[in-house]
Structures are given as structure tokens and as C-alpha cells.
């Protein structure tokens, strides 16, 4: 990120912090505890980010100075001191990077589920995964907001996008990204043959306007009428919104809110989250997966987890471990799998 972008991001964070500070002193907001709590949480996160980013800028400047000394100096004692300073500064930078990960883990998330290989059965499986994460969120006292859904006539989903707000959402669900495979006999299968289908899951950190700058000139915004199950019209007004990010042709749509303004806000949140994820992937070469890598191509061979109905078995292929409580897992009892995954990744 160049210095101009860094400065712009700092200014946006400081402006947002100032706005929030004023709102938190507003009597009307003080008398609305849920809103007050939400704004207080955002204010706290922004203050942490501001402190961290300013420290990082200072450390990067000091690293550049130490490197200049190493490049130009010939005195052995000064060179040794400069090298010691550089090593200490790099350690401080690594600590700040870990701190940034902790801040990210405290943010809300967006989950995108898409039907992969398997036609109608894949869409039904995508619906099962959506319900599974909903039940898990209920158990954790999190809040789920539907952003967009492309439903099928059999009550499945070709695609469903939703946000989850709560404590440690990213920390607990970050490892759910990937291809999920199901093996079962579809209700429409008369011969009793087991089918294999897939759905993809992508978990994104929910980005705020201060996290990434998007020029209005880079957007094309279209409106259209929202549709319901099977495509029948459920609204006469053009409340649904489709936003295209012109530089990369990323398209985001939202139609599940009643007002065009709300749909636009939610679509922009998804767009920011996708672009922030891409930006972080480009910046951090040590990231485990790119977004495309997260969700794969939805082929049967690309899988992180298999849900086998005939054997009542769920297998996580990264752990090479199986559990025999499939119905419980699909009802949201994911703790054992998630905790084992997180413990394995922390080792």
C-alpha cells in the first residue's frame, strides 16, 4: 500500500472515530442500549486500528532508516548497532501483524454458499449448510442477516449470502471455507443409488467503509424488481440492487431487504468484503489460500469435508478424522469439529 493510500485510510478512520464519538454522546443513542453497544464496539475497534496503523507507519520508517545505515555505513560498531535495531524493529512489526489478525478476528463475517456439482441435489445441500450455520449461530447467540439468495423450486439454493454478527465469529468459522461434499440418496432417486454432490463455502471478514476505499466512479449500480421462490414477483417497486465494480467486473446483488437503500448498503458491504479479501491476499503472500483457492472449483475431488448420510458419518479431510453424529452436526453442533480444527491450526 503506498503512502497516499495509507494517509487516506488513516484520515477515514479518524473521521469515522470522530463521528462515533459524537454519536456516543447523543442522548437519543444513549437511550437505545443495543445501538449504543454496537457503536461502542465499532468505536473501540477503530481506535485499536488507528493505534496499530500509526505504530506500523512509525516502525516502517525506522526500518527504512536502519536499512539506510546498513547500506551506507562502514564502521563495524555502527553496523552492528543498526543490525540490532533492524532485528528488533522487525520483531515489533511481526507482533503488530499478529495484533492485526486479532482485530480482524473480532470483526463480523460474511458467508457465501454456492451449489456446486450435482444440480438440484447440490442446491438442496447448500440449503442444508445454510441451516447448519444458522443453528450454530443461534447456539452462540449470534445474529444472522440474509443478504441475497438465489432459490430453486425445490427449496434449495443456487447461492446464498449472509452475514453473522457476534463475538469471535471469524475466529470460530474461518476454517469453514472450502468445498463441502455430500453423499446420500436423493428423495427423487427411485433406484436407491447414492449421489455425490458439492457446495462451496467462503468466509469473509465483513469490511467497513473505513477498511477499503472505493471510488463511486468505479461502480455501476442497477436496480430491478425483487423476486421470490420460483421467480414470481414479490415487489412492484425496483428495490433490488446489483452493483458492478468496473475495474475487475466483480458483481454483487442484494434483494432481501424491502428498501432499495438497505439493499444497496448490504450489497456495498459484500463488495467491500470481497475487495478487502482480495487486497489482503495480494499483500500477504503467506496467506494460506486465495479466495479462489478457498472455494475451489466445486469438483468432487476438491473437498475439505464429506457428509456421508448412509454411514451417519462426517469426515474432515484436513484432519483425517471422522465423527458419527451427522444429524447433530447438521443441526448446528459444530463445536467438536471447529475446536479440533482451530487447535490443529494453532500448533
pLDDT tens-place string over residues 46-67: 887 788 888 888 888 889 888 8
CA distance 77 to 115: 63
Q: What is the pLDDT of residues 33-45, one digit of tens each?
A: 877 887 887 788 7
Q: Is-above-0.75 flag for pTM?
A: no
* pLDDT at 280 > cutoff 80: no
Q: Do residues 109 and 173 lie in contact, with contact meaning Cβ atoms separated by under 8 Å?
A: yes
Mean pLDDT of 25-39: 83
Which grid coordinates are listed for 131? 441451516
Domains and CATH numbers, the chain: 3-105 (1.20.58), 109-206+294-346 (3.30.70.1660), 216-283 (3.30.160.20)
Give Cα separations from 246 to 169, 214, 221, 242, 291 (angstroms): 31, 11, 10, 12, 19
Q: pLDDT tens for residues 134-169?
A: 999 999 999 999 988 999 988 899 999 999 988 889
Angle between the 76-105 and 33-72 helix axes, to the nearest 10 degrees? 160
The total of other beta-carbon atoms located within 10 Å of residue 174's CB is: 20
pLDDT in tens, 247-274: 999 999 888 777 888 888 889 989 999 9
The three state secondary structure string of 299-332 is CCCCCCEEEECCCCEEEECCCCEEECCHHHHHCC
How confident is the model at residue 51, as a pLDDT?
Answer: 85
By DSSP bridging, strand 219-224 and strand 240-245 are antiparallel
Say yes or no to pLDDT of 300 above 60.
no
Amino acid at each position: 500500500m503506498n503512502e497516499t493510500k495509507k494517509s487516506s485510510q488513516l484520515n477515514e478512520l479518524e473521521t469515522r472515530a470522530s463521528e462515533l464519538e459524537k454519536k456516543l454522546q447523543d442522548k437519543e443513542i444513549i437511550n437505545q442500549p443495543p445501538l449504543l453497544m454496537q457503536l461502542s464496539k465499532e468505536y473501540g475497534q477503530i481506535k485499536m486500528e488507528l493505534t496499530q496503523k500509526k505504530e506500523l507507519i512509525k516502525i516502517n520508517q525506522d526500518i527504512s532508516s536502519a536499512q539506510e545505515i546498513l547500506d551506507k555505513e562502514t564502521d563495524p560498531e555502527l553496523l552492528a548497532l543498526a543490525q540490532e535495531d533492524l532485528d528488533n524493529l522487525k520483531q515489533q512489526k511481526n507482533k503488530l501483524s499478529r495484533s492485526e489478525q486479532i482485530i480482524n478476528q473480532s470483526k463480523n463475517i460474511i458467508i457465501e454458499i454456492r451449489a456446486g456439482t450435482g444440480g438440484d441435489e447440490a442446491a438442496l445441500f447448500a440449503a442444508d449448510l445454510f441451516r447448519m450455520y444458522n443453528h450454530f449461530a443461534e447456539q452462540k447467540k449470534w445474529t444472522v442477516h440474509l443478504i441475497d439468495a438465489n432459490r430453486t423450486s425445490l427449496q434449495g439454493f443456487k447461492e446464498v449470502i449472509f452475514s453473522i454478527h457476534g463475538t469471535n465469529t471469524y475466529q470460530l468459522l474461518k476454517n469453514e471455507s472450502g468445498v463441502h461434499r455430500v453423499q446420500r440418496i436423493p428423495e427423487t432417486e427411485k433406484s436407491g443409488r447414492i449421489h455425490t454432490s458439492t457446495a462451496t463455502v467462503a468466509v469473509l471478514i465483513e469490511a467497513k467503509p473505513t477498511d477499503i476505499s472505493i471510488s463511486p466512479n468505479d461502480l455501476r449500480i442497477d436496480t430491478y424488481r425483487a423476486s421470490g421462490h420460483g421467480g414470481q414477483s414479490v415487489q412492484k417497486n425496483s428495490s433490488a440492487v446489483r452493483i458492478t465494480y468496473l475495474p475487475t467486473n466483480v458483481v454483487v446483488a442484494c434483494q432481501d431487504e424491502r428498501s432499495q437503500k438497505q439493499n444497496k448498503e448490504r450489497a456495498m458491504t459484500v463488495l467491500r468484503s470481497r475487495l478487502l479479501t482480495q487486497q489482503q491476499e495480494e499483500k500477504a503472500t503467506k496467506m494460506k489460500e486465495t479466495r479462489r483457492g478457498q472455494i475451489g472449483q466445486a469438483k468432487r475431488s476438491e473437498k475439505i469435508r464429506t457428509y456421508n448420510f448412509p454411514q451417519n458419518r462426517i469426515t474432515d479431510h484436513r484432519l483425517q478424522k471422522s465423527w458419527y453424529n451427522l444429524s447433530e452436526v447438521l443441526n448446528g453442533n459444530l463445536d467438536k469439529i471447529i475446536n479440533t480444527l482451530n487447535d490443529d491450526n494453532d500448533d
